């Protein structure tokens, strides 16, 4: 796993494998929780072309439409697990 882009208390863009990117988004107001969404090939290409502005726009779309919004079926709960070597993995 490799964190490609991160904004503390907001989101992480994580490369989980060759060509696989997961976007982990902090959601909520009173109670905070994280959701993870695997980027599609088109979204992966947009990330490469547009960079951080594209990711920030998707993060806001997820927050404004979760749960049950246009990304609802692609978002899943995310729990970070320490591997002891400073790396993170999802479960």
Contact 51, 58 (CB under 8 A): no
Predicted confidence (pLDDT) per residue in 21-49, tens digit: 999 999 888 888 888 899 999 999 999 99
Contact 34, 78 (CB under 8 A): yes
Predicted confidence (pLDDT) per residue in 53-88, tens digit: 999 999 998 888 755 566 666 666 655 544 444 555
The reported pTM is 0.75
Give dist(CA 19, CA 21) in Å, integer: 7
């Amino acid at each position: 796993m490799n964190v490609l882009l991160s904004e503390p208390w907001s989101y992480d863009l994580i490369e989980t494998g060759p060509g696989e990117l997961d976007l982990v988004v902090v959601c909520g107001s009173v109670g905070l929780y994280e959701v993870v969404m695997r980027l599609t090939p088109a979204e992966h290409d947009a990330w490469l072309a547009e960079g951080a502005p594209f990711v920030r726009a998707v993060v806001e779309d997820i927050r404004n439409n979760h749960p049950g919004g246009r990304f609802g079926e692609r978002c899943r709960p995310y729990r970070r697990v320490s591997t002891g070597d400073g790396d993170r993995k999802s479960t």
